[in-house]
Each structure stands twice: as structure tokens, then as C-alpha cells.
Amino acid sequence: MKRLFWNTLTMLCATLSMHAMAVLEEPSGNVILAVSGNIEHFNSPQQAQFDFAMLKQLPAYEITTQTPWEEGVHHYVGFDPSDLLEQLEADGNVIRLTAFNQYITEVPLTDFEELGAIIAYQMDGADIPVRNKGPLMVIYDFDQYPELRNETYYGRSIWQIQSMHVLTLGE
Ligand SMILES: Nc1nc2c(c(=O)[nH]1)N[C@H]1C(S)=C(S)[C@@H](COP(=O)(O)O)O[C@H]1N2
Ligand SMILES: [Mo]
């Protein structure tokens, strides 16, 4: 009986620590996005850090649209932060995004789930250089939803994203 207990406990601990390790790998390239807030999985003391390869492992979505800050129609590819937050077992309804220039905006997760917004990492088939508002930017499909062409959604269209904080607002 005692033996069975210890064997079970050992197996349980092994399973738990394997689970914690398997869920979130360490970035091997440059960290381009740091996620904090109400998340369950970390790979650094207070954050979940992502390099490009990790972001590109998430399901990819595309939007082809014109935006107020680019001439002509462009093709964007990126991820849905809801998928990333699911991986981190995050709890929240809003992401607070901060850019390199310390611009901050809050985006409800429903914008990604219901309006199909993405965090883009590619434009016209190439990574987006920092001088062209990369490496990460929120993109709405302004052509499919012309009603989004207003200051609320322009203000949420943050570029040069550096970090993401998950929180719950309005409850
Ligand atoms: N990184 C970053 N993203 C940003 C901003 C900013 O200052 N920095 N301004 C926001 C606002 S308020 C608007 S209206 C749109 C368009 O900004 P622009 O008119 O300066 O091009 O980008 C949004 N994204
Ligand atoms: Mo704005």
C-alpha cells in the first residue's frame, strides 16, 4: 500500500512537471513579444516570451485590405491572440498592447473573435520591418467592415507592438 502510494505520487509529480514544461517552450530566437497578466504558463519569471518561430506556429490568418496609413491594398498574415492566450490558459476579455514608442491601447478579444482582426507579422509575403511599423501590428479588415473606419478602431490599430497584458475589464 505504501509502495503504491509513493509510486503514484512520483508518477503524478513527473506528469505535472512534464506538463508545465511541455506547454511553453523557451524562445530560441530574439524575443519579439512579451505576454503578462492573467496567464497560467510562463517561460520567464513574470512573462511568457515569444520569438518569431513560436508565433508562426500558431494558426495563421490573412486579411487583404486597405488601411488609412498605407497606399493601396495589402495582404497581411498573422495570428489571433485568442489562440495564443488559449495556449497560456489566460483568463481575460481585453489585451492591453504597448508599442516601442510607449503608445498603449486596449483591444477587446471580441475584435479578434467576431471581427476577424489579427496581429500581423507579414505584409505582402515578407516580415514587416520596424521602419515600416513592424514587426507586429493589429490589423482590422477595413474593406470587409467599412463601419470600422473610425477613430476607435484606428486607435486600436497599434503597430510596433512590444508587449501584451491580459486583463478583465467591465465586469
Ligand atoms: N505604435 C503606435 N501605434 C499607433 C499609434 C501610435 O502613436 N503608436 N497611434 C494610433 C492612433 S491614435 C491612430 S488614429 C492610428 C493612426 O495613426 P497615424 O494617424 O499617426 O498614422 O494609429 C494608431 N496606432
Ligand atoms: Mo487616433
pLDDT in tens, 62-89: 999 999 999 999 999 999 999 999 999 9
CA of 31 to the centre of ligand 1 (A): 23
| pLDDT(53) > 90 | yes
Please tell me if the CB atom of residue 162 comes closer than 6 angstroms to any atom of ligand 1.
no
Q: Which residue's CA is minimally distant from atom 8 of ligand 1?
A: 103
Alpha-carbon distance 163 to 161, whole Å?
Answer: 6
Residue 144 and residue 114 in contact, taking contact as beta carbons nearer than 8 Å? no
Domains detected in the chain:
25-167 (3.90.420.10)
Residue 171: per-residue pLDDT: 75
User: Taking the CA of residue 18 as centre, how many other CA atoms within 13 Å lie in the half-sphere pointing to its CB?
Assistant: 6
Residue 10: per-residue pLDDT: 66
By DSSP bridging, strand 33-37 and strand 161-167 are parallel
**Closest alpha carbon to 122 in 1, 25, 32:** 32
